[in-house]
């Protein structure tokens, strides 16, 4: 395919959804993706989630520059390099975000991105399999299946009960009427398989005959005057251009999208000049406003052998894998994040600013280090850090990885919020619901109590939750720091849009896969110009 109506860069969460809706409307689409196939058990088995994000075959392998407020550590920044993008290597947790997140977007200039306007797109994209009946907040016939784990392990319900005993509400559906509280966690898992954007959207779109997936390395957007007309890429050791009859859309992640914009002459003028790139549009917001969620793992020993540690060995993993391969059932059919919580750190906070993922195993997220013996943990961290970072070019060479500086923990409020995470988590695990299971605190450790001690632990052990966003934010067209207008058109040029987590003005509460897919769904209607879904004022 030398040309198509639309050329999309990135077959990830937003790109797959966007391609699906465009071909549904009868348009032809060329979808450029550098990564390869997502077939294979490491991706498709939910229980194997720690593997693909640590495999060079599936991950771009980015890491941050040394983070000065975290002991100059370089933190891993996985991004999917595979069909489905990061939806093929993530933890499969499904969180839309809080209604107040999207209302804040609109208040900051993203007209039409308030909760009432995005809710119809969240509903359109999903088929919901949770709860005890239909909900006005949930979708019933979308491509993305959203399910809940069976919670057979008693620790899952113990965590929910402990939250209630600590004085927090219960929420039957944190993606519905009320996010705040403790309850079951939802996942993009269906019939025992990871239900990535590739499975939900890409494969049905390919069957239409109007979509071609092109394996290649996107180098820059090609312009005719001030209009984007295609994408230059390298494939089969040749450089060529795939031309767009209508528009080019970048859905390449909050790391690669700003990189491509800058390589194409759209970004901070001085920075582009430093790398010998001719300026096309001076947009200082490109690569700025970088945000992420940090988290720590609060770990406890278990006094009963009810955790996943029994399977955390060669033979145990073999049994789990065999059952999944034969029947798509068992522990391998779950991501093991089956209960969760969203709470406020104090009564001065308007809506939840702390998130919990509970796991019935004491282990690092990358699976590389498990506690010796039975244990359990909560991943916990603040939701709305005030710290901001940047993505910048390290070179004018497209094949050079960008420089990523999150500037984690650079705002003093981050430390106050993180200390609250530690102390409130101890209160929750101290409830009677855990009396039959709770042993010693593995980390931070019972002796870590003062502000200084907690800060030292955070500095050494805080890890990214892998939720980068915000580097090409949506805003009013006359906002000098906005990169795209509310219809996701890149300001200062024509024929070019962005649809992925880059556009988020502020990070949402929880994991970012769901709002990233939503951005692709909503972008399609902006692009097609056939009218938007009616707002839903629930």
Residues comprising the binding site for FAD?
82, 90-93
State whether the Cα torsion 46-50-51-56 is positive or negative: positive
Give CA–CA dist 149/165, Å, rounded.
23
DSSP code for 284: T
- Check if the beta carbon of residue 421 is closer than 8 Å to that of residue 354: yes
Angle at 77 between CA 98 and CA 37, to 5 degrees: 95
Element of type H or E holding 341: strand 339-343
467 assigned to active site: yes
Q: Indicate which residue of 129, 271, 467, 526 is catalytic.
A: 467
Q: Which neighbouring-strand residues pair with 181?
A: 342
Residue labelled with tokens 């909560």? 378
Of 79, 54, 176, which Cα lies nearest the Cα of 119? Answer: 176
Indicate the annotated binding residues: 82, 90-93
Would you call 243 helix, strand, or coil by DSSP?
Answer: strand
Enumerate residues 6+ apart whose C-beta is below 8 A from 391. 254, 255, 258, 259, 287, 290, 402, 403, 404, 405, 471
Give CA–CA dist 472/272, Å, rounded.
16
- Check if the beta carbon of residue 36 is closer than 8 Å to that of residue 246: no
Enumerate residues 6+ apart whose C-beta is below 8 A from 370. 309, 312, 361, 362, 363, 364
For 91, 341, 421, 509, 520, the CA distances from 352, given in Å and listed in that order, are: 21, 9, 12, 8, 26
Active site amino acids: 467
């Amino acid at each position: 395919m030398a040309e198509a109506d639309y050329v999309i860069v990135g077959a990830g969460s937003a790109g797959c959804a966007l391609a699906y809706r465009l071909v549904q409307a009868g348009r032809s689409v060329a979808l450029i993706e550098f990564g390869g196939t997502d077939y294979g058990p490491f991706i498709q088995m939910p229980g194997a989630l720690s593997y693909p994000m640590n495999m060079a075959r599936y991950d771009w392998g980015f890491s941050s520059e040394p983070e000065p407020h975290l002991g100059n550590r370089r933190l891993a920044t996985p991004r999917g390099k595979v069909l489905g993008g990061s939806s093929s290597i993530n933890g499969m947790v499904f969180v839309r975000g809080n209604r107040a997140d999207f209302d804040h977007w609109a208040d900051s200039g993203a007209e039409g991105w308030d909760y009432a306007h995005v809710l119809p797109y969240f509903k359109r994209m999903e088929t919901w399999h949770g709860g005890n009946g239909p909900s006005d907040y949930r979708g019933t016939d979308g491509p993305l299946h959203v399910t809940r784990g069976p919670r057979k392990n008693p620790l899952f319900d113990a965590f929910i009960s402990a939250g209630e005993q600590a004085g927090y509400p219960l929420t039957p559906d944190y993606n519905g009427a009320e996010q705040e509280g403790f309850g079951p966690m939802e996942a993009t898992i269906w019939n025992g398989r990871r239900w990535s954007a590739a499975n939900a959207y890409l494969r049905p779109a390919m069957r239409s005959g109007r979509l071609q997936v092109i394996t290649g390395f996107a180098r820059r957007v090609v312009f005719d005057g001030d209009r984007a007309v295609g994408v230059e890429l390298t494939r089969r050791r040749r450089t060529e251009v795939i031309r767009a009859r209508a528009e080019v859309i970048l859905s390449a992640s909050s790391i690669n999208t700003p990189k491509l914009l800058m390589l194409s002459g759209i970004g901070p003028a001085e920075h582009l000049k430093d790398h010998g790139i001719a300026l096309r549009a001076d947009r200082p917001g490109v690569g700025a406003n970088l945000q992420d969620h940090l988290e720590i793992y609060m770990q406890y020993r278990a006094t009963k052998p009810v955790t996943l540690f029994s399977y955390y060995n060669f033979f145990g993993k073999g049994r789990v894998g065999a059952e999944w391969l034969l029947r798509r059932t068992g522990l391998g059919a779950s991501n093991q994040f089956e209960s969760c919580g969203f709470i406020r750190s104090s009564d001065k906070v308007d809506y939840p600013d702390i998130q919990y993922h509970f796991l019935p195993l004491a282990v690092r997220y990358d699976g590389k280090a498990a506690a010796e013996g039975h244990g359990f943990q909560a991943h916990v961290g603040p939701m709305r850090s005030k710290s901001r970072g940047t993505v910048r070019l390290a070179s004018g060479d497209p094949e050079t990885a960008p420089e990523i500086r999150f500037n984690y923990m650079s705002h003093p409020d981050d430390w106050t919020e993180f200390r609250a995470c530690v102390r409130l988590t101890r209160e929750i695990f101290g409830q009677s619901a855990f009396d039959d299971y709770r042993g010693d605190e593995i980390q931070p450790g019972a002796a870590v109590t003062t502000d200084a001690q907690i800060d030292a632990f955070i500095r050494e052990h805080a890890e990214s939750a892998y939720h980068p966003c915000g580097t090409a934010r949506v805003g009013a067209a006359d906002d000098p720091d906005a990169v795209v207008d509310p219809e996701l058109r890149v300001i200062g040029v024509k024929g070019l849009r962005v649809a992925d987590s880059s556009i988020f003005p502020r990070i949402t509460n929880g994991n970012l896969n769901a709002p990233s897919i939503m951005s692709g769904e909503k972008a399609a209607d902006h692009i097609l110009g056939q009218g938007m879904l009616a707002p839903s004022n629930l």
